[in-house]
Each structure stands twice: as C-alpha cells, then as structure tokens.
Amino acid sequence: MTDEKTEKRRGSFWRELPILVGVAILVAVVVRTFVVQTFFIPSPSMEHTLNVDDKLLVNKLVYDFRDPERGEIIVFEAPREWQSGDEGEDFIKRIIGVGGDHVQCCDAQQRIMVNGHALDEPYLYRDADGVPNQAASEPFDITVPDHRIWVMGDHREASADSLEHWRTGHDIQGATIPADSVVGRAFTVFWPFDRATWLSVPPTFAGVPAP
C-alpha cells in the first residue's frame, strides 16, 4: 500500500522552482524598496567615519515611525541646488540640528553649539599628522526652520553641506534640507570587512537640550 503522506509527484520540485524564485525576487524587491537598502560612498565628505567605496546598509523604514534625530547619519535626496549630477542624486551627511534648533559656531574651544550645548566631535576628519578639521570654517549663527534639517559632513573641508550652502547666500531654506527628503538612516558599514562597524549616535548629542 502506498503511503499517501510521503508520496511525492515526480518533477514537482522543478514545477515549483519558478514560483519559489519569483517569491524570493518579490521579497527582495519589497525589502530593498521599503526596509533596507545598500549604498556605497562615492566621495570623501564623511571621512573617516565613511571612506570612499565603503558599503553600508540604510534603514528606510525607521523614519516612518519617528523623526530624524541629531547625530544620526542619513541618506537624503539632495535639493536641486545641491546637485552636481543627475536629478535625484542622494547625499549622505550627519544631522547636527533639527527643526527649531539654534546652531552656532563657535565656543571658546572652537566647538559647534546646539541650543547652547557644545558638541565634542571625535569623528571629525584628521590629517596625516592627526590634526582634526575645524568644527566649521567660519562663524555662523542660525535657527533651523521647522520640518528642516541642518547637516554636515565629518570631513568638513571636503563636504558640500549646510554650512557650504549657508556661506554662499545666507539663505536658511537653501542651507537646510526638507525632513521629508530623507531616504533613511545609515546604521552599519559592512564592506570592506575590516571596516565593518555600527554607525551609532555619538554620546555628545545626548546632552543637547530641546530648543
């Protein structure tokens, strides 16, 4: 007698394989579109937190549940005025101030201040002699508009960021990015393997008071 519970139809695997492949592709597309996406670093503006050709993962879902926060590294669709290439170009920078924040440079120790709190920024780019970038190349004193974000690169001398665009016209709208332009939060470097790390928020941002 044939055990019907264990009998398999010949060739059933090959008939089901296209369905399995199609489901796998669909899941991959959904994950990439809505959850996690791989990005690579094309420029030195975030050195050495992120180096050219580093590959990282970006959480595209997190800001559906909360607002972007100070200290996070974000990928965003650059404003048209910031773009040098094709429309829809993505940038990656660190959030320094969010809507309502008073951001200024600098205190007596040449540190950027956010709502009166001086930022210690150990992540700033250092040259071959170990000398870090200045926190900012010139003094500034701004208040971030609601629903906008002030972003800066960790390599301040090589970053076309909020300060760079503030310098050219002192237009706070042009110097900040819309909060809804954020694609997601970069949360880990996974390649090259010897640089694999989590991209956590530096402790200094925990001391920033509300505006």
- CB neighbour burial string for 102-131, b if at least 16 within 10 angstroms, e if fewer: ebbbbeeeebbbbbebbbbbebbbeeeeee
pLDDT value, residue 88: 67
Q: Note the pLDDT of residue 34.
A: 46
Look at residue 84 in the predicted model and tell me its pLDDT: 79
Give the global pTM.
0.84
Give the catalytic positions in this structure: 45, 93
Question: What pLDDT is recorded for position 65?
Answer: 93
Supply the pLDDT for residue 180: 95
How much is the pLDDT for 4? 43
Q: Which amino acid is at 150?
A: W
pLDDT for 10 equals: 52
Q: Which fold has domain 13-207?
A: Umud Fragment, subunit A (2.10.109)
For position 36, what pLDDT does the model report?
A: 82
Residue 90 to residues 79, 80, 86, 119, 121, Cα–Cα distance (Å): 9, 11, 10, 26, 24
Tell me the mean pLDDT per 10 residues along the chain, length 211.
45 58 48 69 95 94 95 95 78 98 96 98 94 94 98 96 94 97 95 94 97 95
Q: Name, in order, each residue with C-beta under 8 angstroms of 173's C-beta and a sequence gap of 6 or more.
A: 145, 148
pLDDT of amino acid 89: 83
Strand-strand pairing, 117-118 and 113-114: antiparallel
Q: Rounded to whole angstroms, how far apart are CA atoms 44 and 56?
A: 15
pLDDT at position 6 is: 43
